Amino acid sequence: MTTITSTRQMPPARGGVAGSVRDSLVVARRNLIRMTRIPEVILFGLFQPIMFVVLFSYVFGGSLTVGGTTDPSVYRNFLMAGIFAQTVTFATAGAGAGIADDMHKGLVDRFRSLPMARGAVLTGRTLADLVQTALTVVVLAIVAVLVGWRIHEGVGKMFAAFGLLLLLGYAFSWIGALIGLSVRTPEAATSGGLIWLFPVTFISNAFVDSSRMPGWLQPIAEWNPFSATVQASRELFGNPGVSASTAWPMEHPVWASLIWSALIIAVFRTLAVRKYRRAAG
């Protein structure tokens, strides 16, 4: 009697940059199609930032001082860079939950049976989330204009500001990807993706001038990657609230924002892809 033992072998990963890019775009397309079939996810993602704009503009707008004035219209213009930044970074929780859901449902096992680049699953997911975030920012900008927000440095610098904001959101999505790969359920990924975002966004210059914070807290806010992007956006939009701080990120916010985002992507993409390979191994 002859016993035949079969061994399951994973197909070789598709090599080369071109193959990796192609695989990532295929996965991104799959996730975008999936998002369009669940429109309530997109709608709920729009409601939260719009709610923040209305609440902060009309509830706190007349009680906070910006540039020595409590004029609500001044605060609305000061506020919007912070709301944009908060919107793109809070998408991190959704990215982490989506990846955790794919892991929980065994989708990773299906992908690893295909001859595709190992990092394409994560890259495609983060690119799809970036597209959804960009659409949210467009809607949010329209609402901001309706409540009185204006730009004063031209269309070119406006697009540069939005580019920095989306780059920060993309960088943070890799943190969300790592969290999604590190937990067992989508619910845990959502909680884990939000719990660290609150101190990052509120210990910053997004909603108040960091110079009004306690002395020991100011350096934390000024060296916060989130603050650098908010400050850069305000400068490019021509909005009030440009800090007089001597901290390097506040004096060179555009460069600081680019450096922070690139560093976060380099570190957390490496960690997330390594975690994915171990989970899929």
- Return d(Cα 203, Cα 99) in angstroms, integer: 28
Tokens, residue 234: 């305000």
Q: Which helix (H) or strand (E) holds 103?
A: helix 72-104
Give the separation between CA 151 and CA 236, rounded to whole angstroms.
Answer: 8
Q: What is the DSSP letter of 69?
A: B
Q: Which of 206, 193, 198, 191 is closest to 268 using CA atoms?
A: 193
Q: What is the pTM of this model?
A: 0.86
Q: Which residues of 190-199 are buried (b: 16+ CB within 10 A; e: fewer)?
A: bebbbeebee
In degrees and rounded to multiples of 5, residue 116 shows phi and psi of -130, 160
Per-residue pLDDT of the chain (281 residues; tens, 9 = 90+): 444 443 444 455 555 677 788 888 888 888 788 777 777 767 777 777 788 788 877 777 666 667 666 677 788 888 899 999 999 998 888 778 878 877 777 666 676 666 677 678 888 888 888 988 998 899 899 988 988 888 988 899 999 999 999 999 999 999 998 998 888 788 888 788 788 998 999 999 988 888 888 889 999 999 999 999 999 999 999 987 766 678 899 999 999 999 999 999 999 999 998 888 776 55
Q: Is 45 helix (H, G, I), strand (E, B) or coil?
A: helix
Give the pLDDT score at 7.
41
How far is residue 28's CA from residue 126's CA, in Å, rounded to a whole number?
8
Q: What is the pLDDT, as a whole number, of residue 1?
A: 42
pLDDT of residue 70: 66
Burial code of 68-77, b = ≥16 C-beta within 10 A, e = fewer? eeeebebbbb
For residue 66, give the 3-state DSSP assignment.
strand
Taking the C-alpha atoms of residue 127 and residue 239, their distance in angstroms, rounded to an integer, is 29
**What pLDDT score does 194 carry?**
83
| Burial label, 3 (beta-carbon count in 10 A; 0-12, 13-18, 19+) | exposed
Nearest to 179 by CA among 81, 92, 62: 92
